[in-house]
C-alpha cells in the first residue's frame, strides 16, 4: 500500500512539473500588434503566436491597424497599453517614430519584444542609445534576405542589365535592410548589373504596378525588379504583366502569399523568398512567457527563409511555408 501511495504522489509531482497550466497559476495576457492586420505575413505570424499561446495557457490578443503606418499604429499601441497586458509583442512600423510610444509601455512596466521590425538599431539591452529597452528582437535576417534576392535576380538575368528595387518607404527597418543587402551584393559581386533608383510605393500594390510601367517606359532595356515585400512584389509582378514583359523582365519577390504559386508557375515570378512568420510569432510568445516566468531570454532570435521557385514549389516541404490568408 505504501508503495502504491508513494507512486501516486510521484505521479502527481511529475504531472505538476510537466503541465505548464498547473505549474503556472497566473494566466498571462500577451498582446501582438502587427504592422497591419490585412497582410498574410502577419496573419501567419498570429497563427504561430496562437499555437504557442495555446501550448502555454497564455491569452493572446491580436490588435492592429488596417495599414502599415505609425499614424494608425500608435493609437492601437496606446489602447493596448491602457489595458495593461503582461507583455507586448509588436512589429513597429517605423524605427524612429515608435520609440517614444513604446517607451510608455516600458515605463508602465510592460515588457516589450519587437517582432519582424525593430526600433533604433535593433540591438537591444546594451545601455546604448534611446531605443535599447525592448527585451528581444525576433525576425528574419533581412540584410541576408536582400543578398539572397540579389543573387537570385543576378542569376535570372545572366548577371547583366538594368534592375530596380520596388520598396515600401524609408524608415521601416526590414525593407530598408533588404534593399541594403541587395545593393551591397550587387555592388560587390555583379559589376554588369546597374541598379536604378528605388521606387517607393507606400505598401500599395497598385502604385508599385504603375511605377513598374513608368520605369519600363523610361528604360525599355529593364531586365529585372526586386519586390522588397509582399505588396511591392505583387504590384511589380502585375506591372510586368501589364507591360507584356512576362518572362523578359524577371521578378524576385520577397514574401510568399498563396497567389505567388500561380505567379511562379506562369513564369511571372522567378523566385520568392518566404519568411517564416509563424516561427516569429511562436517564439515571440514563448519568449514573453519565459520572461514572465523568470527565465532569461535571448536578446535576438533569427528565423529562417525558404527559397521558392518553379522547380520546388510543388514540394509540400516547401509549400508549407506559403502564408495563410
CA distance 305 to 324: 16
**Least distance between ligand T6T and beta carbon 49 (Å):** 15
* Interacting residue with ligand T6T among 230, 236, 274, 286 (CB under 6 A): 230
Q: Are 225 and 241 in contact (CB under 8 A)?
A: no
Q: Name which of 143 and 243 has its Cβ closer to ligand T6T.
A: 143
- Which residue's CB atom is positioned nearest to ligand T6T? 230
Q: Name which of 45 and 81 has its Cβ closer to ligand T6T.
A: 45
CA distance 124 to 119: 9
**Least distance between ligand T6T and beta carbon 175 (Å):** 6
Q: Are 236 and 245 in contact (CB under 8 A)?
A: no
Q: What is the DSSP letter of 222?
A: E
**SS3 state of residue 249:** strand
Please state the φ and ψ torsions of residue 247, each to the nearest 5 degrees: 90, -20
Site string for ligand T6T, 203-222 (x = CB under 6 A): --------------------
Size of the site for ligand T6T (CB under 6 A): 14
> Cell 537570385 identifies what position?
152
Site string for ligand T6T, 177-196 (x = CB under 6 A): --------------------
**Least distance between ligand T6T and beta carbon 104 (Å):** 22
Site string for ligand T6T, 39-78 (x = CB under 6 A): x-x-------------------------------------
Q: What is the DSSP letter of 135?
A: S
**H/E segment holding residue 88:** strand 87-90
Site string for ligand T6T, 261-290 (x = CB under 6 A): --------------x---------------
The piece of 51-59, 227-235, 262-270, 286-294 that touches ligand T6T (CB under 6 A) is 227-235
Q: Is 35 in the site for ligand T6T (CB under 6 A)?
A: yes
CA distance 157 to 270: 10
CA distance 254 to 271: 9
Q: How many residues does the chain have?
A: 325
* Interacting residue with ligand T6T among 255, 268, 269, 271 (CB under 6 A): 255
Q: Which residues pair with 130 in a beta bridge?
A: none
Residues 138-177 that bind ligand T6T (CB under 6 A): 172, 174-175
* Interacting residue with ligand T6T among 229, 245, 287, 303 (CB under 6 A): 229
> Cell 519600363 identifies what position?
216
* Cα dist from 257 to 152, 190, 325, whole Å: 19, 29, 8
Q: Are 122 and 91 in contact (CB under 8 A)?
A: no
* Interacting residue with ligand T6T among 28, 182, 231, 283 (CB under 6 A): 231
Residues that bind ligand T6T (CB under 6 A): 35, 39, 41, 116-117, 172, 174-175, 229-231, 254-255, 275
Amino acid at each position: 500500500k505504501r508503495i502504491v501511495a508513494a507512486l501516486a504522489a510521484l505521479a502527481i509531482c511529475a504531472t505538476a512539473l510537466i503541465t505548464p497550466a498547473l505549474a503556472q497559476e497566473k494566466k498571462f495576457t500577451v498582446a501582438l500588434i502587427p504592422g497591419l492586420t490585412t497582410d498574410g505575413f502577419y496573419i501567419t505570424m498570429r497563427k504561430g503566436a496562437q499555437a504557442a499561446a495555446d501550448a502555454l495557457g497564455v491569452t493572446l490578443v491580436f490588435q492592429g491597424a488596417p495599414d502599415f503606418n505609425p499614424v494608425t499604429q500608435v493609437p492601437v499601441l496606446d489602447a493596448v497599453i491602457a489595458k495593461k497586458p503582461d507583455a507586448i509583442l509588436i512589429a513597429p512600423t517605423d524605427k524612429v517614430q515608435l520609440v517614444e510610444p513604446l517607451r510608455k509601455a516600458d515605463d508602465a512596466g510592460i515588457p516589450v519584444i519587437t517582432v519582424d521590425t525593430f526600433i533604433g538599431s535593433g540591438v537591444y539591452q546594451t545601455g546604448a542609445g534611446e531605443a535599447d529597452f525592448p527585451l528581444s528582437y525576433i525576425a528574419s535576417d533581412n540584410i541576408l534576405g536582400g543578398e539572397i534576392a540579389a543573387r537570385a535576380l543576378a542569376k535570372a538575368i545572366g548577371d547583366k542589365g538594368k534592375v530596380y528595387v520596388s520598396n515600401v518607404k524609408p524608415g521601416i527597418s526590414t525593407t530598408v535592410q533588404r534593399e541594403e543587402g541587395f545593393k551591397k551584393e550587387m555592388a560587390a559581386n555583379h559589376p554588369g548589373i546597374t541598379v536604378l533608383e528605388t521606387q517607393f510605393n507606400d505598401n500599395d500594390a497598385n502604385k508599385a504596378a504603375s511605377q513598374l510601367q513608368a520605369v519600363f517606359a523610361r528604360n525599355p532595356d529593364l531586365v529585372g525588379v526586386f519586390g522588397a515585400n509582399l505588396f511591392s512584389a505583387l504590384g511589380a509582378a502585375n506591372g510586368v504583366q501589364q507591360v507584356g514583359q512576362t518572362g523578359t523582365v524577371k521578378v524576385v519577390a520577397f514574401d510568399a502569399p498563396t497567389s505567388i504559386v500561380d505567379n511562379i508557375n506562369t513564369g511571372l515570378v522567378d523566385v520568392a523568398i518566404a519568411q517564416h512568420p509563424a516561427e516569429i510569432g511562436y517564439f515571440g510568445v514563448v519568449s514573453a512567457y519565459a520572461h514572465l516566468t523568470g527565465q532569461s531570454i535571448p536578446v535576438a532570435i533569427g528565423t529562417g527563409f525558404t527559397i521558392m521557385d518553379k522547380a520546388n514549389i510543388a514540394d509540400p516541404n516547401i509549400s508549407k511555408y506559403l502564408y495563410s490568408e
